[in-house]
Amino acid sequence: MTAKGGAPPSPGGLSGLANGRFFTVGLVTSWYSSNIGVLLLNKYLLSNYGFKYPIFLTMCHMSACALLSYAAIAWLRVVPMQLVRSRVQLAKIAALSLVFCGSVVSGNVSLRYLPVSFNQAVGATTPFFTAVFAYIMTVKRESWVTYLTLVPVVTGVIIASGGEPSFHLFGFIMCIGATAARALKTVLQGILLSSEGEKLNSMNLLLYMAPIAVILLLPATIFMEDNVVGITIELAKKDFTIVWLLLFNSCLAYFVNLTNFLVTKHTSALTLQVLGNAKGAVAVVVSILIFRNPVSVTGMLGYTLTVIGVILYSESKKRNKP
């Protein structure tokens, strides 16, 4: 059967369409798997396994990101290499890297004390902090409807906090700090790398940020996590699994960034928005099934309210685009 007034689709066209859909599904599956996988593995290492060194773990992640980013761009040519044009641009990237480090380290520290489900609930408040920082640093005002949608975002986390059986104040503070730093990086990136000559795609930005992050994290690891390398070597002598876990986890951290870039490139903004909102919910369900952490009805209602607020916020931002 043909479409009205048109020719029947060719077998080659149908095959290409099917292949394209399989590719997109595979890409999204990889994105979900790497995102949720690194989160769950971080939790397992820092909390269940007893590897209590979040700064060193983050440094391992950044080292892998630096090496694999170079391999992907310089050798595999996943994207064209963009060069840093000035010392000023490099200083801006270093500032972003510092904030990025603070976000990742704080997030990893929070996983030592909080279940993944609650960690994701707090992380869902990123739009709130983004709006606050954008208002303070760029005097960018959103419509009153957009600000109104942030009320359920924050209210939901307050409700979830009150109903969280495994609530830990220090872990909560670290999680809030990680979420705020993630939002700050987004706003800073828009300010610092706004000119056409300085804009970098996410893969090239990671290529330059990751080595700087390693340099920043090295002294912090030495002074704050005494003899962590020696302790890791001793752990490896008793159980070599720790080495494979650290290597796999570090590579997975890079693939989070790679798949995020590819999904952004090969899907629409609307698809990405829907998938992003669903990803946190999937991570919550999977983490509860794996770690069996207790959850309350109040906590889940709070998280649901936050997710609804995030969806409404995204819709409001989309409709108010000039």
Structure tokens at 109: 């520290």
Is the model's pLDDT at 91 over the cut of 70?
yes
Q: What is the pLDDT of residue 75?
A: 96
Q: Which residues of 169-194 are buried (b: 16+ CB within 10 A; e: fewer)?
A: eebbebbbbbbbbbbbbbbbbeebbe
Q: For 269-302, what is each residue's pLDDT tens digit? A: 667 777 877 888 899 999 999 999 898 999 999 9
What is the residue-averaged pLDDT of the chain?
A: 90
**pLDDT at residue 18, rounded to an integer:** 62
Measured CA to CA in angstroms, residue 170 lies from 5, 136, 157, 220, 291 at distances of: 66, 26, 16, 19, 21
Identify the pLDDT of residue 9. Answer: 55
Q: Look at residue 118 and tell me whether its pLDDT is greater than 90.
A: yes
Which of the residue ranges 58-62, 141-145, 193-197 would you say has the lowest mean pLDDT? 193-197
What is the model's pTM?
Answer: 0.89
Residue 110 has pLDDT above 90, yes or no: yes
What pLDDT score was predicted for residue 271?
72
Degrees (nearest 5) of the Cα angle 25, 29, 30? 120
- Is pLDDT at 30 greater than 50 in this prediction? yes
Q: What is the CA radius of gyration of the chain?
A: 21
pLDDT digits (tens, 9 = 90+) for 132-169: 999 999 877 888 999 999 999 999 999 999 999 999 99
pLDDT score at 1: 44
pLDDT at position 196 is 82
pLDDT at 57: 97
Among 128-132, 216-220, 268-272, name the one with the lowest average pLDDT. 268-272
- Contacts for 214 with CB less than 8 Å, ≥ 6 apart: 59, 62, 63, 66
pLDDT for the residue numbered 319 = 81
pLDDT (0 to 100) of residue 274: 75
Q: Per-residue pLDDT averaged across 102-119, rounded?
A: 95
Asked whether residue 5 carries a pLDDT value surpassing 70, the answer given is: no
